[in-house]
Structure 1
Amino acid sequence: MDHLFTVDGDSATPVSPTTLAAEGLFERQHLQEWVIEHPQVLGESVLVITSEFDRWADTDGVPARDRLDVLGLDATGRLVVVELKRGSADRDVHLQAITYAALVSRFDLDTLAQAHRDFLKGRGESVELDECRQRLLNHVDGDWSPELLQRPRQVIIAAGFPKQVTHTVVWLSEMNLDIDLIEVGLWKVKGQLVAGFTKVYPTPEVEEFTLAPARIEAKAAAQKLEERSRARSAVHVLVDAGLLPDGARLRLVPRHGAPESIREDIRAWVGEDGRRASATWSNNTTEPLTWEADGKPYTPTGLANHIFTSVTGRKADGIQGTTWWDVDANPVPDTVDPDEWAALVGSHLADLAKQLSGTRKDWSSLHALLEAIPSGRWTTYGDVATVINSHAVPVGTHLATCGKCPNVWRVLTTSGAVSSSFQWPDPARTETPADVLGTEGIHFEAGAAAREARLPLDDLRRLLRN
């Protein structure tokens, strides 16, 4: 972050940066604790396993002096090696990170579970070794993979990086070694210290267009990581967009990772107990599916793997579980317009995520748009969703549950009808949206609003811009 300002109306006052050293803050007591308390700065869904780890020995059995700042585990099953510097990084900081990555790449589940237990014990939390082991297994989306443990991701956090480091890290990344560079900044705003973490390499564009293709073409372990990352990203996209309401029903349709002969066996197995074919969705990114057959929560890939193994007796390999679960036709969620839900039926989670990539549940723009719709005009859930970069289903769900959205009666279905899921925030209101629209001069015929009163999409966009 190059510039930071305090804002008072149309006045913006620059805030001068400071440093950890100048404020008497240290790597271990302060910066390290910030990272442990907020591991999201290391990336998506990282579990901190341990910190200040130094219990390794060289080939002669002599304890090594190297002390690893933080070790984490991400949801794809990769270790995350973290090197911290409260000031600017040294010219060889990346060599330290690589050394630690090489050391931890030989760790197995038992080593990590013991390290996690010791870490928690040192912080006043008493946990049995078996519980620590299970915590690590549960954090991984899919099967535990020793191959992925051998490919740690490295994160270096510092106040700045010399060119020697950035140039070397770029080359190492192109050689399929993952190293993230994160700058930590510190400012003092009206006596309050403000810390910021900015990922300076790789940027999303570099990851997508430069690094990702090379990694996809790499070894089988990297391919497995990519599949898991895609599956997990699909879940995050759907949750972020709010597309599927809690309790939405999904139907099992085995696809990716299972040949047709096994798909037939799965269909026959499901025919023995219809509950095996159904799961319900909940909007959490950890385990969003609850399987009707046993009532337990799963990830889409975790449940697909479980079903594959239950039918074949073999361990699944490379299944993309988000392709196995389709939106079911029934029941239609209470807050969703049936016509909009029908458009989703039969689509699997991976396809839905691909369509929604980049959308977010930012309802501030929705509220501003609704406020701007004039009396005597109406629009549709789909058009509103297009303008705010969302989807008609989460828009309809929000309108049905918000209680504070303005002019909700001016949003209708594509056919111009009042949605069957419409409900007033005030249950005492007895008039219908059609009644209110009628008082605003909009005529209804056969349950549909006059087409000439519908706002064109371009006019709707202009309302939001203005």
Structure 2
Amino acid sequence: MVDHLFTVSGSSAMPVSPTGLAAEGLLERQHLQEWVIDNPQVLGEAVLVITAEFDRWADTDGVPARDRLDVLGLDATGRLVVVELKRGTADRDVHLQAITYAALVSRFDIDTLAQAHRDFLARRGQTLDLEASRQRLLDHVDGDWSPELLQRPRQVIIAADFPKQVTHTVVWLSEMNLDIDLIQVGLWRVEGHLVAGFTKVYPTPEVEEFTLAPARVEAKAAAQKLEERSRAQNAVHVLVGAGLLPDGTRLRLVPRHGVTDSIRDAIAVWVGEDANRSTATWTNDTAKPLTWDADGNRYTPTGLANHIFRSVTDRKADGIQGTTWWGIDTARLPDNVDPEEWATLEGTDLATLAKRLRGTGKDWTRMHALLETIPPGRWTTYGDVATVIGSHAVPVGTHLANCGQCPAPWRVLTAAGRVAAGFRRVGATHSGAPREILTDEGVRFDRDTAATEARLTLDELRQLLES
């Protein structure tokens, strides 16, 4: 949780006092619940809200109708997300409520969920027939619909605070391979406005990686399938979030994870019958980023890998990590990209790229601040800028070419000291080609290459950013 919050004006920082939902007259159902429904990202990546205030338990379990599940979601791995909300400090047995609801929804099938989603949308003034509701759920899942994963819901408890009885129990349950997230909601009044914050207090990334992940590796087949899908889905989100691959990037099929040598050989023969089966085109869409050249349809990396596996073997794939199957074909150079940096990506699969880029994003504030400090008559490279701000040369080049508001983008060149192919736009306040502007600023060129003595070193760039 945020320990200290300030309003800042230059060198002055004034503390902001926290408040609470109850103190502000805000309620769980009418307010906190609506915040979550409107902003499902607080529940995790790519969560679709299926329903809220659900109480149709079919009476088979003797659950009174007054017991309502606050929010039920579906993530892109095909797993249900059970959400319990408390506007104040959570009750000592709140985790038991969440577990009870998780047990109940674990018996749901696609038809039950589709009907619940249709009814939920109808209550909110949206019309969707049952079949369209069903298809919406299927489309949201990365890969095949898995009844096994529905039996393992993830639970999320959101509250202003948690008593030790809850945190201690949740830690133990997580170690026993039951997934429960604790999210703390805070409220502040800032200059007449209420500001809400949601912070995941358990499990932290370190706990997930070093404590929970080893236990899940040893779990049953359903948990293993979840891990594979989660990694694939996360890889796509990382790549789109970092903006590494420009739309139109060509990918080549290299079956890796989840197949034997004999199946690889069979896929190679099958691909040999139609070369279009071996290529796909990337679009920066977290839902279905691949367009397969063989049929023109959109797929997830895992969905397309599974489709190819089934087409060749005539049996269902199980646990393929599709992001390992697709490598970058750098023969086609996108506009405004450094050729040397682009060439380094040749053959690298999507999963490996995501590992390199994890933690990066498309917040260009630091880069804009850096560019403002580069003096006339000096230049740097896409790769050096990326190193200093924690990104990659390719999205840096793409952003510079299309931003229109970046300070002096002409002072950023390729690693060879040349203006990137296709780079023409230099900003709304300047005209002329980048080389012409650099020459006017005093940078000497030998044919198309800028003089190395005018290039800033990495240390100089870092000092500029720090200043």
In 1, the alpha carbon distance for the partners of 2:63 and 2:422 equals 70
Which residue number in structure 2 is paired with residue 307 of structure 1?
A: 308
Distance change in 2, residues 1:427/1:69 (3 Å): closer
Which residue number in structure 1 is paired with residue 205 of structure 2?
A: 204
Question: Structure 1 residue 37 and structure 2 residue 38: aligned?
Answer: yes
Matches within 5 A, 1:207-246: 207-246=208-247
AA at the equivalent of 2:13: A
Structure 2 residue runs without a partner (length 5+): none
Which residue number in structure 1 is paired with residue 446 of structure 2?
A: 445
Q: CA deviation at 1:445?
A: 2.5
Q: CA deviation at 1:335?
A: 2.4
Give the conservation status (yes or no) of the 8 Å contact 1:337–1:421.
no
Give the conservation status (yes or no) of the 8 Å contact 1:75–1:140.
yes
In 2, the alpha carbon distance for the partners of 1:149 and 1:343 equals 41
Give the conservation status (yes or no) of the 8 Å contact 2:404–2:428.
no
Which residue number in structure 2 is paired with residue 185 of structure 1?
A: 186
Q: CA deviation at 1:222?
A: 1.2
Distance change in 2, residues 1:31/1:433 (3 Å): closer
When structure 1 is superposed on structure 2, of 426-435 and 49-58 the one drifting more is 426-435
Q: CA deviation at 1:47?
A: 0.9
Q: CA deviation at 1:232?
A: 0.9
Q: CA deviation at 1:102?
A: 0.9
Structure 1 residues 62-112: Cα deviation after superposition (integer angstroms, max 9, x where no partner): 756522111111111111111111111111111111111111111111111
Which residue number in structure 2 is paired with residue 328 of structure 1?
A: 329
Which residue number in structure 2 is paired with residue 356 of structure 1?
A: 357
Which residue number in structure 2 is paired with residue 384 of structure 1?
A: 385
Which residue number in structure 1 is paired with residue 54 of structure 2?
A: 53
In 2, the alpha carbon distance for the partners of 1:5 and 1:385 equals 30
Which residue number in structure 1 is paired with residue 68 of structure 2?
A: 67
Distance change in 2, residues 1:9/1:411 (3 Å): closer
SS at match of 1:20: coil
Q: CA deviation at 1:440?
A: 3.4
Which residue number in structure 2 is paired with residue 170 of structure 1?
A: 171
SS at match of 2:344: helix
When structure 1 is superposed on structure 2, of 189-198 and 27-36 the one drifting more is 189-198
Which residue number in structure 1 is paired with residue 156 of structure 2?
A: 155
AA at the equivalent of 2:45: E
In 2, the alpha carbon distance for the partners of 1:311 and 1:150 equals 30
Give the conservation status (yes or no) of the 8 Å contact 1:89–1:159.
yes
AA at the equivalent of 2:86: K
Aligned residue pairs, count:
466
Q: CA deviation at 1:42?
A: 0.9
When structure 1 is superposed on structure 2, of 340-349 and 328-337 the one drifting more is 328-337
Distance change in 2, residues 1:457/1:296 (3 Å): same
SS at match of 2:72: strand
Structure 1 residue runs without a partner (length 5+): none
In 2, the alpha carbon distance for the partners of 1:100 and 1:426 equals 55
Structure 1 residues 379-423: Cα deviation after superposition (integer angstroms, max 9, x where no partner): 221111111111111111112112222232222222222322321
Structure 1 residues 347-379: Cα deviation after superposition (integer angstroms, max 9, x where no partner): 111111111111111212112212212223222
- TM-score with structure 1 length normalisation? 0.95
When structure 1 is superposed on structure 2, of 448-457 and 134-143 the one drifting more is 448-457
Give the conservation status (yes or no) of the 8 Å contact 1:40–1:46.
yes
Give the conservation status (yes or no) of the 8 Å contact 1:57–1:64.
no
Give the conservation status (yes or no) of the 8 Å contact 2:76–2:142.
yes
When structure 1 is superposed on structure 2, of 380-389 and 3-12 the one drifting more is 3-12
Which residue number in structure 2 is paired with residue 117 of structure 1?
A: 118
Give the conservation status (yes or no) of the 8 Å contact 1:143–1:302.
yes
Distance change in 2, residues 1:282/1:62 (3 Å): closer
Distance change in 2, residues 1:386/1:61 (3 Å): closer
Structure 1 residues 263-318: Cα deviation after superposition (integer angstroms, max 9, x where no partner): 22222222222222221111121111111222221111111111111222211111
Which residue number in structure 2 is paired with residue 126 of structure 1?
A: 127
Distance change in 2, residues 1:115/1:426 (3 Å): closer
In 1, the alpha carbon distance for the partners of 2:224 and 2:371 equals 45
In 1, the alpha carbon distance for the partners of 2:360 and 2:229 equals 21
Structure 1 residues 1-60: Cα deviation after superposition (integer angstroms, max 9, x where no partner): 233322333333332322222222221122111111111111111111111111114557
AA at the equivalent of 2:151: Q
Distance change in 2, residues 1:427/1:166 (3 Å): closer
Distance change in 2, residues 1:267/1:53 (3 Å): same
SS at match of 2:195: strand
SS at match of 1:141: coil
Structure 1 residues 136-189: Cα deviation after superposition (integer angstroms, max 9, x where no partner): 111111111111111111111111111111111111111111111111122223
Which residue number in structure 2 is paired with residue 287 of structure 1?
A: 288
In 2, the alpha carbon distance for the partners of 1:418 and 1:190 equals 47
Give the conservation status (yes or no) of the 8 Å contact 1:57–1:63.
no
Which residue number in structure 1 is paired with residue 261 of structure 2?
A: 260
Give the conservation status (yes or no) of the 8 Å contact 2:426–2:433.
no
In 2, the alpha carbon distance for the partners of 1:427 and 1:10 equals 31
In 2, the alpha carbon distance for the partners of 1:185 and 1:412 equals 45
SS at match of 1:344: coil
